[in-house]
């Protein structure tokens, strides 16, 4: 598997990090490894709070792997791939620990879904966002509920419809996706550390109850996101989508 996921623990803070050489994009194997790592961190007694981050100093997450998308040959494979995003979102949703997001750079598609699924998100001013799925013939079906929950239907639909447009980190903060934004990564990391250390000494039962309240109304997401994955899995097989993905891949070379 290209890329990796790992967890480090210090003073009650578990940091789950992921990396892929193609702008931290997420092939299926990496998605499932990330979901498993989050679920495991939620069960560990030595972890009181979780930080979710990607590695590197450029993109936070480029979303789905185009190489893997173009290799999908049937409905079952398509649904299985997009179910990987559903697994990660549901792992964060059901994790009993509060999750802090660290977004150091641009977030695209599934990357916006990750940022939307943490409980408190920090970002830099470089962390613009884009839901690019419609531009390649699909749509943000799996990540849509998580994005809508954070920014509302209006802002989510703006991103989904204007699929080639970047929205600034300030735009994302003003709509609730990011809680705080910083000019410098160092300042962001200092604030993340400060909040994480405070939460690590807070009442774990109280934090778990708060998380339950934050996510009320999403109990049906296991089924909902599975159904959404099936829509994306069907659309990715269309000739339109295949040509669009090939065009995007060529433009990036």
The two structure tokens encoding residue 110: 């599934």
Q: Please list the alpha-helical segments (H only) found in the chain.
A: 28-43, 66-71, 75-94, 110-117, 144-161, 169-174, 185-200, 204-214, 221-235, 239-252
Quick one: how far is CA 136 from the chain centroid? Answer: 19
Cβ atoms of 105 and 127 closer than 8 Å:
yes
Is 119 a member of any domain?
Answer: yes
Give the residue from 183, 163, 165, 186 showing the smallest Cα distance to 173: 183
Tally of CB atoms within 10 A around 46: 11
Is 222 a member of any domain?
Answer: no
Counted domains in the chain: 1
Tally of CB atoms within 10 A around 220: 9
Q: What is residue 10's predicted lDDT score, i.e. its pLDDT?
A: 98
Is 12 a member of any domain?
Answer: yes
Is 18 a member of any domain?
Answer: yes
What are residue 92's phi and psi, to 5 degrees?
-70, -40
Is 128 a member of any domain?
Answer: yes
Is 148 a member of any domain?
Answer: yes
- Dihedral sign for Cα 93, 86, 172, 61, please: positive
Range of 161's domain?
4-200
pLDDT in tens, the chain (253 residues): 689 999 999 999 999 999 999 999 999 999 999 999 999 999 999 999 999 999 999 999 999 988 888 889 999 999 999 999 999 999 999 999 999 999 999 999 999 999 999 999 999 999 999 999 999 899 999 999 999 999 999 999 999 999 999 999 999 999 999 999 999 999 999 999 999 999 999 999 999 999 999 999 999 999 999 999 999 999 999 999 988 888 876 665 5
Q: What is residue 253's predicted lDDT score, i.e. its pLDDT?
A: 53
Q: What is residue 152's predicted lDDT score, i.e. its pLDDT?
A: 98
Q: What is the distance between the alpha carbons of residues 197 and 205, in angstroms, rounded to a whole number? A: 17
Is 73 a member of any domain?
Answer: yes
What's 239's DSSP letter? H
Is 248 a member of any domain?
Answer: no
CATH classification of the domain holding 19? 3.90.226.10
């Amino acid at each position: 598997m290209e890329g990796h996921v790992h967890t480090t623990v210090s003073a009650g803070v578990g940091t789950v990090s992921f990396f892929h050489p193609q702008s931290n994009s997420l092939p299926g194997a990496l998605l499932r490894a990330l979901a498993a790592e989050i679920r495991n961190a939620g069960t560990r007694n030595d972890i009181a709070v979780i930080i979710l981050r990607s590695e590197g100093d450029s993109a936070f997450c480029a979303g789905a792997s185009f190489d893997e998308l173009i290799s999908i040959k049937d409905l079952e494979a398509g649904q299985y791939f997009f179910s990987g995003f559903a697994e990660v979102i549901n792992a964060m949703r059901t994790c009993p620990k509060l999750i802090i997001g660290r977004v150091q750079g641009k977030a695209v598609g599934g990357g916006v879904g990750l940022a939307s699924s943490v409980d408190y998100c920090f970002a830099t001013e470089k962390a613009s966002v884009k839901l690019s799925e419609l531009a390649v013939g699909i749509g943000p079906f799996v990540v849509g509920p998580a994005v809508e929950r954070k920014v509302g239907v209006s802002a989510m639909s703006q991103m989904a419809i204007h699929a080639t447009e970047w929205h600034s980190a300030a735009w994302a903060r003003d709509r609730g996706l990011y809680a705080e934004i910083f000019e410098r990564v160092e300042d962001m990391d200092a604030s993340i550390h400060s909040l994480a250390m405070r939460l690590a000494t807070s009442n774990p039962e109280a934090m778990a109850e708060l998380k339950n309240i934050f996510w009320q109304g999403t109990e049906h997401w296991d089924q909902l996101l599975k159904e959404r994955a099936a829509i994306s899995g069907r659309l990715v097989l269309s000739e339109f989508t295949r040509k669009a993905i090939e065009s995007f891949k060529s433009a990036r070379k």
